[in-house]
Amino acid sequence: MLTLSPQDIQAIWLSAQVATAATLISVPFGFVAAYLLVFARVPGKPLLEGLINLPLVLPPVVVGYLLLLLFGQSGMLGAMFHSLGLRVVFTLSGAVIASAVVGFPLLVRSIRTGMEDIDKRYLQASRTLGARWWDTLLTIILPLSGRAVLAGMTLMFARSLGEFGATIILAGNIPGVTQTIPLAIYEYTNTPGGDRMALTLCLVSIVLSFAVLLVSESISRKFRQRAGQ
Amino acid sequence: MNLEVALRKNYGKFQLKVEFSLTAKHCGIFGPSGSGKSTLMHLLAGLLKPDEGRIMLAGRELFNSSRNLNVPPEERRIGVVFQHAHLFPHMSVRRNLLYGWRRTPLAERLIDPEALIRVLQLDHLLDRGVNALSGGERQRVALGRTVLACPRLILMDEPLSGLDEELKYQIMPYLKKVFGEFDVPLLFISHSLHEMRMMADEVLVFEAGEVRDRLPAEELARRNLVTGSRGYANLLTLSAPQPQGDLWLYRWGETPLVLTEPGGMGDNVFELAAKDITLFKRHPEASSARNILPCRVTELFGVGNRIGVELDCGGNRLICQIVPESVRELDIREGAEVIGVIKASAFRRLY
C-alpha cells in the first residue's frame, strides 16, 4: 500500500506552488520576449535570443550557482532585495526564481513558434483597419497565439515540477520550506530503506505531470475550435 | 478621389517607378502579374516603404521622402481588400465586420453598418465563425469590413481572382451595389479586363513596374480587339426574361433579344463576343440565327485584319468585329445602315 507522509504531502504542495508561481510570473515576460524576437525591429536581437536560451544549454547547477551569486547577500540583486527586507536564498521565492529561469526558454520558444505561424497578412489587415500596434497585439496576436502560450505554460509547468539542480543550489533542500518532490525523492534515495517512499513520490510526479498534459490538451482543443483550425 | 503619386521602389531586380494623379471616383490598375500592381498597393497602404517619392491623398500628404514623412497604415485611412480575404479566424462575421468601424472616430463613421450588411446580404451570417463561410461569402465579409472602416480610399487587390469563374461574377453585383450606394473612392487592381470594365471608369495600364498607359476602361477593351487574343466582348445588361418555346426572350432597352440562356435571379449581364456578330447589308430573308437587328454604323476603328464597328441598335451600343474585305464589300462607313445577326447561343451569362 502506498502511503504519503506529512512531509511528502508538504513536498507535493510546495512543488505545485513553485511550478504555478514560476509559470504565472513568467508568462507576461515570456510573451513580451517572444513578441520582441518575432515582430520588433530591435538592435541586438541575436544577443537577446542567446541570453534567453542560455539556461536551456547550461547545466542547471551552473544556473543555480549564478543565481546564488546574483541573489546572495553580496550579489547585485541580493543586496538590493536585502535593503528591502527580502530574502531569496534558501526560501520559497528562491525555488520559484530558480524554476522560472530554467523554464523560461521553453516558454519563449513555444510562444515564439506560435507567433511565427500567424499569417502576417492578418496584422496588415488589422493595421489598415486602423488598429495601432498595441491594439493589433491584444486583438490579433494574443488570441491567435493563445494555443502556443498554453503549450509553453504546460512545458514550463512540467519543467518546474522536475526542477532540481538550480533549486537545490539557490533554495536548498529544507523540508517544509523549499523541499519540492524531486528534492524529496533525492533525500529518500540517500536514506536507507527510503526506496519505497521515493517510488511513491515518483508515482505522484507521473500522475501530476499527466494531469497537466490532459488539462492543457483539453483547453488547447477549445482554442482550436474557437479559431476553427 | 484625388490621389497624387510619384514613387520609386527597388525590390531585388525589380524596380517600380511610377508617377500619376487620379481624379476619377473609381479607378483601375490593369496589368499582367509581376507588373508591380500589388507592390503599388502595398506602398499606397503604407505596408511597404518606398525608396523615395511622395503620396498625396485628398490634400493630405501620406509619404514624402524629402521631408522624412511616412504616415503609418493605421493613420492613412486607406482600406484594403486583399486577394484572399484574410478575415480574422478567431472572430465571428460580426466582429470582423465591425473591427475597423469600432476603430473609426465617431465623426468619420459615415456608413451605416445595418445598411451595408443589408446590401451585402450578410444578415444571416453575422453570428457565424468565418471558417464556415464559402469563398464568395468570405470576400463579401472582407469587402464589408473594409468599407465599414469608412476609408478615404479603398484598394482592392485582385479581390476576385481567388474565386472560381462562377462565384466571381456572383460577387460583382455586390461590388457594384456597394460602390454605387456608398460614396467611397476605389482603386481596383486586376489583370482581368472584364473586371476593369465593370468596376473602373479610368484605367492605368501597368507593365514592368511602370505606368504604360492611362485610358477609359472601354478604350482599353477596344484596344484588346486589335491586340488581344480574345478580341472585344460586349457586356449587355438584359431585363424581363420570358420563356419563349425552348428559348428565352429578353429586353435590351427597347430591343427584344432571343437567347438560349434561361432567365436567372441575378442582373442578367451577358457577354457577347464582337466576332460572334455577323453584318449583312440587307435583311437576310431566312436565317438560322434568332436575332436580326437593324443598326446604324457610328464608328470604325482598329488596324490590320481586325476592324471594330460600333453600331447603334435602337439606342443600344454594340461592337462587332469584321475583316477589311467585308468593310469594302459591304461598303461599311459611318452612318451606313446594316443588319446585325446574332445567334441565340452566342450570349454567355456573367451574372
Of B205, B227, B249, at which residue does a domain stop? Answer: B227
Identify the residue among B41, B44, B49, B99 best suited for mutation to test binding to A, counting A beta carbons within 10 A and taking the highest. Answer: B99
Considering the domain architecture, whether residues B219 and B325 belong to the same structural domain is answered as no
Considering the domain architecture, whether residues B124 and B176 belong to the same structural domain is answered as yes
Residues B82, A121: C-beta atoms closer than 8 Å: yes
**Is residue B209 classed as helix, strand or coil in its secondary structure?**
coil
Domain of B243, in residue numbers: 233-349
Q: Residues of B with CB below 8 A from A144's CB?
A: 89-90
CB-CB contact of B52 with B39 (8 Å): no
Q: What is the DSSP string of B111-155?
A: S-HHHHHHHTT-GGGTTSBGGGS-HHHHHHHHHHHHHHT--SEEE
Q: Residues of A with CB below 8 A from B99's CB?
A: 126, 129, 131, 139
Q: Which residue of A has its CA nearest to B151?
A: A129
**CATH label of the domain that carries residue B10:** 3.40.50.300
Confidence band of A68 (pLDDT split at 50, 70, 90): very high
CB-CB contact of A204 with A100 (8 Å): no
Distance CA B167, CA B350 (A): 10
Residues B73, A127: C-beta atoms closer than 8 Å: yes
Q: Residues of B with CB below 8 A from A131's CB?
A: 74, 99, 103
Distance CA A116, CA A108 (A): 12
Distance CA B250, CA B268 (A): 9
Q: What pLDDT, on the 0 to 100 scale, is given for residue A213?
A: 87
Considering the domain architecture, whether residues B41 and B155 belong to the same structural domain is answered as yes
Residue B337, pLDDT > 80, answer yes
pTM metric for this prediction:
0.83
Residue A99 is placed in which grid cell?
524554476
CA contacts within 13 A on the Cβ side of B113 = 19
Confidence band of B306 (pLDDT split at 50, 70, 90): confident
| A131 closest CB neighbour out of B80, B103, B132 | B103
Structural domain boundaries in chain A: 6-227
When divided into structural domains, chain B yields a total of 2
CB pairs under 8 A between A and B: 72
Considering the domain architecture, whether residues B213 and B280 belong to the same structural domain is answered as no
Residues B89, A144: C-beta atoms closer than 8 Å: yes
Percent of chain A residues past pLDDT 90, beyond the cut: 70
Residues A129, B132: C-beta atoms closer than 8 Å: no
Residue A9 is placed in which grid cell?
504531502
Q: At what angle do helices A92-116 and A45-57 cross, to 10 degrees?
A: 130
CA contacts within 13 A on the Cβ side of B343 = 8
Identify which has the larger pLDDT, B305 or B87.
B87
Q: Which helix (H) or strand (E) covers residue B22, if one does?
A: strand B14-22
Residue A110, pLDDT > 90, answer yes
CB-CB contact of B252 with B238 (8 Å): yes
Distance CA B340, CA B337 (A): 10
Distance CA A3, CA B251 (A): 91
Residues in CB range of A201: below 8 A, 6 or more apart: A8, A11, A12, A181, A184, A185, A188
Q: Residues of A with CB below 8 A from B76's CB?
A: 128
**pLDDT average, residue stretch B55-71:** 94
A192-217 per-position pLDDT tens digit: 988 889 999 999 999 998 898 898 88
Considering the domain architecture, whether residues B69 and B208 belong to the same structural domain is answered as yes
**Is residue B52 classed as helix, strand or coil in its secondary structure?**
strand
Considering the domain architecture, whether residues B152 and B268 belong to the same structural domain is answered as no
**CATH label of the domain that carries residue B293:** 2.40.50.100
Strand locations in B23-76, DSSP E? 26-30, 52-57, 60-64, 69-70
**pLDDT average, residue stretch B115-119:** 90
What residue has cell string 436580326? B292
Residues A140, B88: C-beta atoms closer than 8 Å: yes
Q: Residues of B with CB below 8 A from A226's CB?
A: 90, 129
Mean pLDDT in chain A? 91
Task: Please count the other Cβ atoms lying within 10 Å of the Cβ belonging to residue A129.
Answer: 26
Distance CA A35, CA B317 (A): 59
Residue A27 is placed in which grid cell?
508568462
Confidence band of A1 (pLDDT split at 50, 70, 90): low
Q: Residues of B with CB below 8 A from A122's CB?
A: 86, 88-89
Distance CA B140, CA B133 (A): 10
Ranking A16-30, A44-58, B162-176, B180-194 by mean pLDDT, the lowest is B162-176
Q: At what angle do helices A6-38 and A92-116 cross, to 10 degrees?
A: 40
Residue B168 vs residues A70, A87, B4, B163: alpha-carbon distances, Å: 65, 68, 31, 6
A74-105 per-position pLDDT tens digit: 888 888 888 888 888 899 999 999 999 999 99
Q: Residues of B with CB below 8 A from A140's CB?
A: 88
Q: Which class does domain A6-227 fall in?
A: mainly alpha
Residue B263, pLDDT > 90, answer no
Identify the residue among B86, B139, B141 best suited for mutation to test binding to A, counting A beta carbons within 10 A and taking the highest. Answer: B86
Residue B1, pLDDT > 90, answer no
Q: What is the DSSP string of B210-240?
A: EEEEEEEHHHHHHHHHHH-SS--EEEEE-EE
Distance CA B176, CA B172 (A): 6
Q: What pLDDT, on the 0 to 100 scale, is given for residue A229?
A: 47
Considering the domain architecture, whether residues B136 and B248 belong to the same structural domain is answered as no
Q: Residues of A with CB below 8 A from B130's CB?
A: 228
CB-CB contact of B133 with B84 (8 Å): no
Q: Is B89 within 8 Å of chain A by CB?
A: yes
Considering the domain architecture, whether residues B145 and B250 belong to the same structural domain is answered as no
Task: State the DSSP code for A138.
Answer: I
Distance CA B257, CA B152 (A): 42
Considering the domain architecture, whether residues B53 and B186 belong to the same structural domain is answered as yes
Residues A129, B90: C-beta atoms closer than 8 Å: no
**Is residue B321 classed as helix, strand or coil in its secondary structure?**
strand
Q: Is B80 within 8 Å of chain A by CB?
A: yes
Of B227, B259, B278, at which residue does a domain stop? Answer: B227
A7-24 per-position pLDDT tens digit: 899 999 999 999 999 999
> What is the interface pTM, i.e. ipTM, of the complex?
0.82
Q: Is B93 within 8 Å of chain A by CB?
A: no
